[in-house]
Amino acid sequence: MLPDMPLDPSLAAGFLAAAIVMTLIPGPDTLFVLGKAMTHRARGGVAAALGIGSGAMVHALAAALGLSALIAASEPAFAAVRWLGALYLIWIGIQSLRASLAGQHDADARGSASLSIGVVFRQAALTNISNVKVIVFFLAMLPQFVDPARGHVGLQLFLLGCIFNTLEVVYLIAVGLLAGRASSWLLGRRAFRRVLDAVAGTLFVGLGLRLMLSARGSH
């Protein structure tokens, strides 16, 4: 029966429409998946998408438990998360730049494919978890589609977060698969992979520096 449903149907429909639009807007998550799909083929893109999804689930649970609101209300905690996220992005970028300069793409790379995929998953998850913009997004958007009269506000927040996360993961997996297929014949060319690593490294260092500058400017 409708009164027993955790979410208000009309509010849920509105959230679904808004979530679809937000998902289709390219952002750091899409760029991350594209980069990993181009360097690790479709498996890397899918691993990155799933890693981002796992990070988003942490945010959804945190929003439901009120942890995100606590972090946002605490200026030192908010700043710490922002700086950690920035430093992690810069570290990923430096690793890609080092790989580009050293040309670390040889036949032995295939032997460590499973390790690389695991690293991609962890990188994606940590990148998403440390992304302050995701915390702000969940805090700003999810409460607008919660009906307090139905009770279980935490459950409603979590379910809304799951809806958004499902849409994003499906979209990112599609992006990873398409990019992985398009890159299959390019990855065998050492020069292309070095250029790709250089571009990806520059991108993530730039994102990290931008996040650090925005954090400094907010004080």
Both tokens assigned to 179: 């990019």
**Predicted model pTM:** 0.69
- Sequence-distant (6+) residues with CB within 8 A of 162 are 57, 60
- Provide the residue-wise pLDDT of the chain in tens; the chain has 219 residues: 445 677 888 888 888 888 887 788 767 788 888 888 877 888 899 999 999 999 999 999 988 888 667 766 777 876 776 677 678 778 877 887 887 787 654 444 444 444 488 889 998 998 888 777 777 778 777 887 888 878 788 888 899 999 999 999 999 999 999 888 876 655 555 666 677 678 777 877 886 787 677 656 555
- Cα distance between residue 198 and residue 38, in whole Å: 13
Cβ-contact 205, 93 below 8 angstroms: yes
- Cα distance between residue 44 and residue 85, in whole Å: 21
Give, in order, the Cα–Cα distances in Å from 181 to each of 34, 104, 142, 159. Answer: 11, 22, 35, 33
- Sequence-distant (6+) residues with CB within 8 A of 34 are 45, 175, 176, 179
